[in-house]
A = this chain, B = another copy of it.
Amino acid sequence: MHDPLSHYPGYSLRRAANATAAELAARLSDIGLKQVDASLLLLIGANPDVTASALGRELDIQRANMVPLLKRLEDGGLIDRNPLDGKSQGLVLTADGEDRRKEALAIIEAFESALLARIPADHRHHLLPALQALWRNA
């Protein structure tokens, strides 16, 4: 089949993102996490007492959609909530949450290494800056 799409960087970007996301999802499912869960654990671990709203802004997730995500982590005993004032709540990892964060981190590091290894060496170190230019100048 003639393929008029694959030579477009934007198309390949979407396809590569989908393919790699599926791979990471499969690896993270071994420890019962989704991608967004792992992102939240890493962010909360690096920013104790962060609020749900701030996490949503960081990850481009609507406030309303954070509720079930955090509820799942809380029900799983991975995070706790500290009232900061009458309205905001600071999120922190529990001991179990910290353990799971470390497991997720190991999986992510291995996954990222595998990604880079798949890229020919002469292109490898150009990927991150190119992607960041696309994303952060959007």
Contact = CB atoms under 8 A, between A and B. Distances in A.
Given A9-B115, A39-B5, A42-B5, A130 B124 contact: yes
Contacts of A16: 13, 17, 131-132, 134-135
A129 interface: yes
A133 B125 CA distance: 13
Count of this chain's copies in the oligomeric assembly: 2
A18 interface: yes
Given A5-B43, A43-B5, A50-B1, A12 B132 contact: yes
A84 to B, nearest CB: 15
A81 to B, nearest CB: 18
A123 to B, nearest CB: 4
A39 to B, nearest CB: 6
Given A46-B2, A134-B118, A111 B10 contact: yes
A64 interface: no
23 contacts: A1-B43, A2-B47, A4-B43, A5-B39, A5-B42, A9-B131, A10-B20, A12-B135, A13-B127, A17-B17, A22-B138, A23-B138, A118-B133, A119-B130, A119-B134, A120-B129, A120-B133, A123-B129, A124-B130, A126-B126, A126-B130, A127-B127, A127-B131
